[in-house]
Amino acid sequence: MSIATALLLAGAALPAADRAAIDSRVQGIFRTYTLPPNPTPVWDQPIFSAETAALIAHWKRVQPADEPDALNDGDWFCLSQDYDQKGFTATPTPARRLGAGVAEVRVRVNLGFGQTRDERIVLKKGPGGAWLVDDLFARPDFPQGLKAKLRQTIAEDE
């Protein structure tokens, strides 16, 4: 291995405490799908970075009250309205550092009846060191990311 390759790999490594905190956050997000349904929609949970939370707040102010729009007709992390609570699994890869205070985790989601989805979650270190979801990429729902979809849906709803 060259010195340059070793330095690149070392730069991508996260400290153990960050890896554990990210793993805990991701496990916590997906654990909810194996429990009785949570009446709080994912967009109302305090798991998002400040920028993403601000976009969500804007979207909630402009979304139509009488019909679903492009974002409130399904769950953002399981990317479906339907899943089998007993068979649901989420298999994350180890977190990978993208930059200072930014990491990503790739997750294979099995909805419990043989249907799988692949996601990429980008997390940012927030106040107090908490790792928060900054963006979510998945096909077909969020190929350019959740933040891009929020911006697009806000424009459509306004």
Residue 121: predicted pLDDT: 98
37 DSSP 8-state letter: P
Answer yes or no: is pLDDT of 11 > 80: no
d(CA 158, CA 138): 25
pLDDT in tens, 24-39: 999 999 998 888 877 7
The pTM of the whole model exceeds 0.85: yes
Residue 13: predicted pLDDT: 87
Share of residues in the chain with pLDDT > 70 (%): 92
CA within 13 Å, CB half, 37? 8
